[in-house]
Amino acid sequence: MKQETHSLSLTISSVTRHSFYTNAQSEAWDIRGTLQGLPAGSSVDLFAQNERLASDTFRIRQDGDFFVNAWMGKHQAQGDGTIQIVAKTFDRETVSNTVTAKLTPNPLPTPTIKTTTAHISTVTVQGTTELKQPNIEIMLAGQTQVTRPTSQNTWEATFNNVPEGTHTLSAIAKDPLDILKGSTPATVSVEVSHKPADPLRINAPAEGATVGRIMNVSGNAANGTGPIKVSVGGGAENTALLQGNYWAADVISAGTGQQTIRAENEMTGEVVTRTVEVASTVFGITRAVRSSKVMLHLEGYGVPSTPIMYRNIQGGSEFALDVKWVGNSWSYHGQPEGIRPVHFSLRAQNETTIYQYDFIRMPARRADLISPQDEEQVGTSFKISALTYPDTHSDLIVIDKNDEDRELARAPNQLTTLDPIPWEVTVGPLKPGTYTLELKKDDKSIFPPEPLVFTVHVK
């Protein structure tokens, strides 16, 4: 039987790359065009460099138009952004004209940089791309990373040990097989500072406080940094992990008397110190104040879980207070006998050291400062917020210790509950500089409250 032949006319309208997969040998392309000269339904294949392109044989439609998904190896492209394609019938007897088609997109679309975050010496960049999973090459401060976007066309990279200073970060989309040209770079400026916005500091125990040899040290540091190494008097180090910007660790002093607490942020290299008095006794009371007209607040140190014994000197049996232990530090807040204390004594069970107090002559408990923290940077006008423990209706005032106790602000301190009461006042505007402030009651009592002194840096 004589085989029928046809004259085929091939036109290629586009050869487009939409997705980049992990196949190291070839890439998927969408090829669209028209093939004239064959009856509708005829089976056809596309070839380049004598190798079949289409993953499946396709059939010609009535109008001759076709669309096919093709696999193209790098060797099949021309190296100039084109490919030469011919069509052949299923039996390979009939061959079309050769078409030189442009490969698109060429160059690849530029990726988009969405966000950059600099944290100490670590920089994280996130972005998007129009295409499915090309290589994204990111460069920063002499470092280069190559990543591939997710199925949602998002990408991310993190650089560590980035030097301080201003750097240009660039991102380029690249074809894994290098058939298409890489994109023009997307760039952004990144400022890297190794000085954290929230510096390392020790909040407790206070400077000069008397503590036991086993003590709980706590403070703040920049979120995401750490760990914090803590020691006292050159003794053994303990490690504190950050919870947000808060850290705490129990440490043992190497000696007694005046000793130095040392805290070091291993990520940032910051080191801060604080001097405390380490007692030679096992049990001690570091704070005894009135938190209201009838409430007692006590703090001290000792052997954890040792009963702290209370006795009314004017009569009554001795009993253990319901204290709260944190490490070797303990605290108590309440009314030991359900009534206002008068004259009382405290001691640790099985110890002979006894502390005696007159409730009326005890200082009133100072406010607990919430913000700003000691040594914090503030604006020219800022709010001071605290929890107060009122035992009078006196106003709370803020004074400038650097300017002959000049009053800066005051606000009422209302006696409405035995629980701590939130208090807030606005200070300013102040000139830039460093201010030592004291928050205290405007109370003329002969038994003044505990002082609350802190430093702010006005910018």
Domain locations in the chain?
9-104, 112-192, 201-278, 284-361, 368-458
- Rounded to an integer, the average pLDDT of 15-35 is 76
125: pLDDT strictly greater than 50: yes
In whole angstroms, give the CA distance from residue 429 to residue 135.
Answer: 53
Of 292 and 443, the one with more pLDDT: 292
CA 410 to chain centre: 36
Confidence (pLDDT) at 2: 39
pLDDT band at 316 (very low <50, low <70, confident <90, very high): confident
Q: What angle do CA 122, 112, 191 make, to 5 degrees?
A: 30
Give residue 190's pLDDT: 95
For residue 6, pLDDT beyond 60: no
Where is pLDDT greater, at 423 or 135?
135
Residue 28's identity, in one-letter code, is: A
Domain 284-361 has CATH 2.60.60: no
Min mean pLDDT across 67-76, 201-210, 411-420 is at 411-420
What DSSP state is assigned to residue 75? G
- Residue of 193, 174, 27, 46 lying closest to 107 (CA atoms): 174
User: Residues 449, 440: contact at Cβ < 8 Å?
Assistant: yes
Q: Which two tokens stand for residue 176?
A: 């894994």
Strands 284-290 and 296-301: antiparallel
CATH number 3.40.50.720 is the correct assignment for the domain at 368-458: no
Task: Catalogue the E-assigned strands of 163-279.
Answer: 165-174, 186-192, 201-204, 210-211, 214-220, 228-232, 238-240, 246-252, 257-265, 271-278
Please say if the pLDDT value at position 3 is more than 50. no
pLDDT at position 297 over 60 = yes
pLDDT at 446 (0 to 100)? 54
CA 193 from chain centre, in angstroms, equals 15
102: Cβ–Cβ under 8 A, 6 or more apart, which residues? 15, 81, 82
- DSSP-derived letter for residue 338 is S
CATH class held by domain 112-192? mainly beta
SS3 74: helix
Res. 339 pLDDT band, cuts 50 70 90: confident
C-alpha span between 241 and 225 (Å, rounded): 9
Tokens 């005894």, located at residue: 288
pLDDT top residue among 111 and 446 = 111
CA–CA separation, 275 and 206 (whole Å): 8
For residues 234-255, give the mean pLDDT.
86
Q: Residue 221 burial by CB count (10 A; 0-12/13-18/19+): exposed, middle or buried?
A: buried
CB distance 230 to 251 below 8 Å: yes
Confidence of residue 92 (pLDDT cuts 50, 70, 90): confident
406: pLDDT strictly greater than 70: yes
Q: How confident is the model at residue 162 (pLDDT cuts 50, 70, 90)?
A: very high
- Which residues, in sequence order, are bridge partners of residue 406? 400
Beta strands 99-104 and 9-16, pairing class: parallel
Residue 411 to residue 334: CA distance in whole angstroms: 27
Average pLDDT value for the chain: 85
* Identical topology for domains 112-192 and 201-278: yes
Write the pLDDT tens digit of every residue in 173-186. 998 888 889 999 99
Choose between 293 and 285: higher pLDDT.
Answer: 285
Q: Specify whether domain 201-278 bears CATH 3.20.20.150.
A: no
Tokens representing 17 are 């790359």
| Residue 447 pLDDT exceeds 70 | no
Q: Given the DSSP bridges, would you call strands 308-312 and 421-427 parallel, antiparallel or unpaired?
A: unpaired
Residue 49 has pLDDT above 80, yes or no: yes
Helix (H) or strand (E) segment spanning residue 341: none
Confidence at 25, pLDDT banded by 50, 70, 90: low
* Highest mean pLDDT, choosing among 265-279, 280-294, 329-343, 347-361: 265-279
- Report pTM: 0.49
Q: Are 355 and 346 in contact (CB under 8 A)?
A: yes
What pLDDT does 399 receive?
83
Radius of gyration of the chain (CA): 38
Which pLDDT does position 20 carry in this prediction? 75
pLDDT of 418 reads: 60
| Per-residue pLDDT at 408 exceeds 50 | yes
The backbone torsions φ and ψ at residue 283, rounded to the nearest 5 degrees and listed phi first, read -120, 140
Instruction: Specify the CATH number for 9-104; select among 1.10.10, 2.60.40, 3.40.50, 3.30.70.
Output: 2.60.40
